[in-house]
Amino acid sequence: MAIIIFQCAAVFVFAVGSFVLGLWLRRSKTRETAERASRFSHLMYWGLLVFPGIIGFFRPGLTHYDELLGVPSLPFRLVDSIVGAVLLLVGLFLLIITNTLLAKAGKGAAAFMLTKSVVVDRVYNFTRNPMSLGYYAACVGVGLLAGSTSVTVGVILGVIPAHVFNLKYFEETELDLRYGQPYREYRQRVPFLIPNLVRSRAVS
């Protein structure tokens, strides 16, 4: 039960930290501040969302969350497993392709080596946050594959909203300060999260 409390607290701290970083950017609107704050945000993501999730994967184990919380497991195991596998594969695909694009086109990485330009190629031409979309799909997919009601609901109602808040309140401001007009044009053309069905014209 201690790990569950820890994970819930970590998600809350992540959301509060995103709010604090967003305030910092709004009070000090410089590229240097944005770069510094972006590294803090990445540290929070790995330390407060990813690391606690990895711990829970091994202890107590994804299949034991429902038992600890006294809730029934997901009822439709075959359907849940199929949907979960599809979401996990889609999520892993998006995570791999976005990291590749960030390295090649943005000359950076998803963590602390910040990209040097706005990436608009391939999946980034359909949604501004394909990596986050992949992360969400993978997390929900893992919960469904484990047949865990509490893990799946926790991801949907806790992890995803906290991370979306980070993207909207902090990251959009941070990217605006770092990239300026090219990012503003990109933001106007490409949707925030749900992909366009029609490929957009790339920003020149």
Per-10-residue mean pLDDT of the chain, 204 residues long, equals 93 98 96 95 96 92 93 94 97 94 74 81 93 97 96 97 98 95 94 76 41
Q: DSSP letter string over 99-166? A: HHHHHHTSSS-SSSS--SS---SGGGGT-S-HHHHHHHHHHHHHHHHHT-HHHHHHIIIIIHHHHHHI
pTM of the model: 0.91
What is the pLDDT at residue 204?
Answer: 36
Residue that is written with structure tokens 């047949």 in the block: 147
Q: Is the peptide bond before 60 cis (omega within 30 degrees of 0)?
A: yes
What is the pLDDT at residue 201?
Answer: 47
What is the pLDDT at residue 66?
Answer: 94
CB 138 within 8 A of CB 159: no
